Amino acid sequence: MTPIASFALLLTLLCAGIAVVVSVRTQQTRKKLLAQEAVQKNRLYEISLFKEIQDKIGYELDREKIIDVITKTLGNMFISSICGSLYQTRTGLMFKVKIEDPVDQAFVNDTKRVMLESYAKLTTASLPLKISEEDVQGKIDPKKTKTLNSYFHVPLVVNNKPIGIITMALAKPLIFQEEQMTFVYNMVNQAINALSRLEEVLATEKEKLTSTIGSLADGIFMLDNNQQLFVINDAAKALLGIKTENPTVNELENAFPPTFLLTSKIHDAITKKLGIQTQELILGEHTVQVFITPVMPISQLEHVNRHKNIPVVGVSVLLHDITLAKSITAMKEDFINMVVHDLRAPLTSIRGAAQLLSQEKTELNEDNQKLLAIIHTQSQQLLDQVTTLLDISHLQNGKITLKISDVNLNTMTAEQIQLFTPQALAKNITIIPHLDTTMPHIQADASLLGQVINNLLSNSIKFTSEQGKIGVTTRVENNAVIISISDTGRGIPKEKQAQLFSRFYRAGAGASTTGTGLGLYIVKNIVEAHKGTIKLDSEENKGTTITISLPLN
Amino acid sequence: MYYGSMHLPANKNYQALLTTTIKDQMIILGPDITLAKIRKVPGITVSDEGTVLSVPTNPKKVIEEIMNQFVTLSPFLTQRLIATLYS
């Protein structure tokens, strides 16, 4: 071989060698890239699948629903004969499977057996375990005799506590690839971790709620929709005399007086979506008021008036201890009674003495007579105010006692008109009575009813200008007697009308007008004590009409 | 993954202990995934029933490898495995 030929051969071999090296390197790089691409594809698939599960779960906290969603998604994604779950519910173990490919009962039983063994080992429970509920979906075909050849279980662990397993089972042997199974584990773990985080947040919030509720002086406990106790504070336990840490609903029910029927009231609050407030209730040495309130999701509360279909998620029961308030009220009442009694006696004496002195006018000059008149008027006014104070005290404590008798409303009204005629004449006001002569007698407290008419006539005269008119009407209407007093006075502005019957409110009060602002408050309470109603119609600068309706029965 | 500086007691029969552990995992996770993962650990030979037929001389390394394989499947079970194997 010539040197040139040798060189050419060497060059050819060198080129071929380089080509081989480049080709191998390229293939290696390609394989590497393909492998990376496959990993990326798997990762993307994993993410999309996880997103799909996450979208279906949302912020769901119901473990059973979440397990169902995961199991269903996996069943749709991977080939299996049976895809199912075994998990702990409130009532026991739930065995829930879907037969994807028809199998016989023996296959289902074998799957159940290995699932129970897995769950027992996972939870360190002893076999045999009892299944409380079974849900087997799909077709069981006795002719499809198959052997359980390939299966794997994914443990469901929420916040370090095993709650169940998801199982995929196949009749064909070794069909599940390691990569595929690892993928399923990743999937389920991610979904369950999301639940764990959510439950952790919930547990923290519950802890905050428990601390807040625990610091309340009032007793409070909350139950969920299934009437399971969610939280109870120490004050509630103390009021109910409960010693156990986590009492049952039965214990709570038994802590109330037998006639109280707690569960029935809770049921009413949930079904009617309305709060229930009970009257005073004696619990041992305490007097409490009980407020039972349905709990609805805060996010939906703004729609509460528009939509009736808002789910009730539970109920809260508040035990408001009014023992101290009641004893303070009793003390206050005693004090007012004592003060009123102590003031009344000397005031009556002053008024009487002034009256006696005024009868002997000859011995007093004009100035002294005026001073005497002031003493008489002011002592009378003070006496009236002291009496009002007592009335208010009785009204506030619901102690208004009616002394019922046969009352002729017309006679009573005529007497009151006569009483006010001198005052009306002094202002050139005309009182025009329209009394229904067919008016029947009514059963009422004559003294209190007289006080009502007296107050209304007094107000009308006070707020009606000179030359004005006051109409007093009585009539029978719809099984009720009506007494209506209207005037041509200054009227009451619309914005002040709503407060007119409140305590200490004086709508037309100016510097020249005297009074405590309690008159109409007392009037309203007396009318309501007679099961009657009071209505106001007023227009500014035109006049006011107050209509009282008292039931005939 | 590094599982700390824990020491295995010298008198333990690692082979028997590993067999028990693997058989437990086969019950909890199923034989398919357990065997697939175990057989990825270099130096260990396991039968289809989960019996460890041979282990390398450095069992600590094997255990760490097993943990690495199982931690992706269930961190909860891996914690339990560590507790069992190092107790």
Q: Find chain B residues with C-beta within 8 A of A160's C-beta.
A: 76
| pLDDT for the residue numbered A144 | 83
Token readout for A113 is: 């057996």
How much of chain B is helix, strand and coil, in % rounded to 5? Answer: 55, 5, 40
Mutate to test the interface with B, among A129, A181, A186, A195 (most CBs of B within 10 A): A181
- The shortest C-alpha distance from A122 to chain B (Å) reads 6
Chain A residue with minimum CA distance to B81:
A122
Confirm or reject contact between B64 and chain A (CB < 8 A).
no
> In the structure encoding, which two tokens stand for residue A271, read together?
């079904």
Alpha carbon A268 to its chain centroid, in Å, reads 13
Could you tell me if B76 lies within 8 Å of chain A, comparing CB atoms?
Answer: yes
Distance CA A335, CA A343 (A): 12
- Confidence category of residue A112, pLDDT binned at 50, 70, 90: very high
CB A95 within 8 A of CB A137: no
**Residue A29 has what pLDDT?**
84
Q: Which residue, among B28, B34, B48, B71, would best test binding to A if mutated, counting the most A CBs under 10 Å from its CB?
A: B28
Query: Which DSSP string do the residues of A76-137 spell out, in sequence order?
Result: HHS--SEEEEEEE-SSSEEEEEEESS-B-HHHHHHHHHHHHHHHHHHHTPPSSPPEEEEEEE
Residue A266's contacts (CB-CB under 8 Å, 6 or more residues apart) are A223, A227, A292, A315, A317
Residues of A in contact with B74 (CB under 8 A): 154-155, 157, 185, 189
User: What pLDDT, on a 0 to 100 scale, did the predictor assign at position A371?
Assistant: 84
Q: Cβ B28–A122 below 8 Å, yes or no?
A: yes
Nearest CA in chain B to A174: B32
Residue in A50, A126, A143, A131 with CA at minimum distance from that of residue A93: A131
Three-class SS of residue A206? helix
Contact across the interface for B27 and A121, Cβ inside 8 Å: yes
Which residue in chain B is spatially nearest to A163 when comparing CA positions? B76
Contact between B30 and A152 using a beta-carbon 8 Å cutoff: yes
Q: Nearest C-alpha of chain B: how many angstroms from A110?
A: 13
Q: What would the two tokens of residue A204 be? A: 């923290």
Q: What share of chain A is helix, strand, coil (3-state, %, to 5)?
A: 50, 20, 30
Size of interface A-B (CB pairs under 8 A): 55
Q: How far is residue B47 from each of residues A238, A430, B19, B23, B39, measured CA to CA in Å?
A: 63, 117, 10, 11, 10
Question: Does B84 touch chain A if contact means CB atoms closer than 8 Å?
Answer: no
Q: Do B73 and A157 touch (CB under 8 A)?
A: no
pLDDT at B1: 45
At B45, list the tokens. 């030979």
Residue A358 predicted with pLDDT over 70: yes
CB A362, CB A328: distance < 8 Å: no
Q: Which are the contacts of A121, defined by CB distance < 8 A and separation ≥ 6? A: B24, B27, B28
User: Is B32 close to A176, i.e. CB distance below 8 A?
Assistant: yes
* Pairwise CB contact (< 8 Å): B33 & A122: no
C-alpha dihedral (A182, A184, A187, A190), degrees to nearest 10? -60
Q: Please give the ipTM for the structure prediction.
A: 0.86
Q: Which residues in chain B (8-37) have CB-CB distances under 8 A to chain A?
A: 24, 27-30, 32-33, 36-37
pLDDT digits (tens, 9 = 90+) for B33-75: 999 999 999 888 999 999 988 888 777 788 888 888 888 888 8
Q: Which amino acid is at A431?
A: I
Judged against a pLDDT cut of 90, whether residue A115 lies above it is answered with yes
Chain B CB contacts of A186 under 8 Å are 72
Q: Are strands A442-445 and B45-46 parallel, antiparallel or unpaired?
A: unpaired
Residue B76: its chain A contacts at CB < 8 A?
Answer: 155, 157, 160, 162
pLDDT computed for residue A308 by the predictor: 59
A399 or A182, which is more confident?
A182
Torsion of Cα atoms, B44 then B45 then B49 then B51, to 10°: -70
A345 is written with which tokens?
């006696």
Residues 91-150 of A with CB under 8 A from B: 114, 117-118, 121-122, 150
Tell me whether residues A181 and B32 touch, CB distance under 8 A.
Answer: yes
A478 Ramachandran zone, left/alpha/beta (phi>0; psi -120 to 50) = left
Backbone CA torsion sign across A50, A55, A57, A58: positive
DSSP 8-state class, residue A441: P
For residue B45, give how far its alpha carbon lies from the nearest alpha carbon of chain A (Å). 17
Q: Count Cβ neighbours within 10 Å for each residue of A267-284 and write b for 16 or more, e otherwise.
A: ebbbeeeeebeeeebebe
Check the CA dihedral A360-A362-A364-A365 and report its sign: positive
pTM, to two decimals: 0.53
**Residue A300, pLDDT score:** 53
pLDDT tens digits for range A289-310 = 999 998 877 655 555 554 456 7
What one-character DSSP code corresponds to residue A140? Answer: B
Name which of A398-407, A508-517, B1-10 the model is least confident about: B1-10
Question: pLDDT of A207-260, one tens digit each?
Answer: 888 888 888 888 999 888 777 888 899 899 999 999 888 888 888 888 998 888
Dihedral, CA of residue B34, residue B35, residue B37 and residue B38, to nearest 10: 110
Record: contact B28-A118, CB cut-off 8 A = yes
* CA dist list (Å): A184 to A152, A341, B62, B64, B70: 10, 86, 25, 23, 14
Which of A119, A157, A195 to mutate to test binding with chain B, by most B CBs within 10 Å of its CB? A157
Residues of A in contact with B37 (CB under 8 A): 178
